[in-house]
Each structure stands twice: as C-alpha cells, then as structure tokens.
C-alpha cells in the first residue's frame, strides 16, 4: 500500500465517521425537538383532575355498554346497552334522564335541578321525596364529590335505592329499584364530570 492509498483510505474512513456522526446528531435533534413540541402526556400518578385527563384520554365503554354524555350538566357515565334512554328537559332548568329496560323490569333515572345550597335541607328532601324516608344513609363519593346513598320509597317505584349529591350549583338525584343496589353501584363507578 503506497502513501497515497493510505491517505485516501484515512480520508474515506474520516468522512464516513463524520457522516455517521452528523446523521446521529440530526436524528437526536429531531427526536428532542419532537419530544419538546409534542402534546404533554398526562401521568397516571399525577394529581391532574379527571376532567383534564379526559381531554387526553378518550373514554371507551366496556363491551355491552354505551356512554351517556350530558354536556349541559357536564357529566358522562357508562350504562348497559340494553337500556333505552329518554331525556326530559323540564321547567326551571331541571332535567331527567331515564335509562329503562324496554320490558320495564329494571332501570334507573338521574334527576338534575339547580340548587344553591351546599347541604340538602329537609325541606328540599321532602320536596323531591315526599315519602320522607331515608334509611341507612351512607356517605359516598362520585368522581370526588361527596354524596349520600340511602334506601327510600315512592308511590311509582316502591322501595328505592337513591344517591344524591351537589356539585356546581346543581343537585343530582340518582334513583333505582332497591334490589338493583349493586347494579347501580357498578354504573356509578363510571360517572365522570367533564368540565
């Protein structure tokens, strides 16, 4: 090997090293640039509110369920897809959503009404539940909001299981038949406020 061939070989190797280094540098810069400009991904261990997470993580109902999303009152939940849904806008900014088995064997309803208080008064309770029955009241939370679940009764449904809570100037009342207590609990685990 003469000196000229050796120099050309050294120049070729040096050029190859420079090309590989430049390529690696360019790829590294592109990856860093993309990583810093991409939308932030929420951490599942952070304290980001559920509503903020909803903007990043779309909800997918489990097999055999549908999503009910109420933009007016800022909540959604999953419910069994064999239930029919009827929404009723009522006077005074009140709303009722009825989820019912077409055969009439089971279902539940959500009643929403404006409410300025932070506690449910006896007068308000009697207005919405004239029976006055509140058996075994238990504190629960619904997507971070404190509520009360209890047994009651009414002339239309008979013995009921009810869950009431207040959020954002509204009173939410969820009602089902007493034997469907556990069934309703599974549905309420999917409740999410969306604002």
What pTM does this model have? 0.70
Report whether pLDDT(19) > 80: no
Burial of 155 (0-12, 13-18, 19+ CB in 10 A): exposed
**Which pLDDT score, from 0 to 100, does residue 51 have?**
54
Nearest to residue 132, comparing CAs of 158, 109, 152? 152
Predicted pLDDT of residue 28: 52
Mean pLDDT to the nearest integer, 181-187: 96
How confident is the model over 31-86, as pLDDT tens digits? 444 444 444 444 444 566 655 555 556 678 899 999 999 999 999 999 999 999 99
Q: What is the average pLDDT across 138-147? A: 95
Which residue shows structure tokens 């009342």? 173
- With contact defined as beta carbons under 8 Å apart, do 142 and 128 qualify? no
Residue 29 confidence (pLDDT) above 60: no
Which of 5-19, 53-67, 138-152 tops mean pLDDT? Answer: 138-152
The CATH code for residues 50-193 is 3.40.1000.10
Least confident of 21-30, 165-174, 185-194: 21-30
Determine the pLDDT at residue 167: 96
Residue for token digits 């909800």? 59
Q: Where are the domains of the chain?
A: 1-38, 50-193
């Amino acid at each position: 090997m003469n000196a000229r061939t050796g120099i050309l070989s050294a120049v070729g190797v040096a050029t190859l090293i420079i090309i590989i280094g430049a390529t690696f540098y360019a790829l590294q810069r592109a990856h860093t640039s993309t990583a810093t400009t991409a939308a932030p991904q929420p951490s599942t261990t952070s304290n980001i509110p559920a509503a903020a997470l909803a903007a990043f993580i779309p909800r997918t109902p489990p097999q055999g369920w549908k999503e009910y999303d109420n933009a007016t009152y800022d909540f959604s939940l999953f419910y069994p897809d064999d239930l029919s849904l009827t929404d009723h806008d009522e006077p005074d900014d009140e709303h009722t959503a009825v989820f019912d088995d077409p055969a009439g064997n089971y279902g539940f309803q959500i009643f929403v009404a404006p409410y300025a208080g932070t506690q449910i008064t006896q007068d308000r309770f009697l207005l919405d539940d004239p029976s006055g029955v509140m058996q075994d009241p238990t504190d629960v939370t619904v997507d971070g909001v404190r509520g009360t679940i209890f047994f009651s009764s009414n002339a239309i449904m008979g013995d009921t299981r009810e869950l009431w809570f207040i959020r954002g100037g509204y009173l939410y009342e969820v009602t089902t038949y007493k034997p469907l207590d556990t069934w309703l609990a599974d549905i309420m685990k999917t409740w999410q406020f969306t604002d």
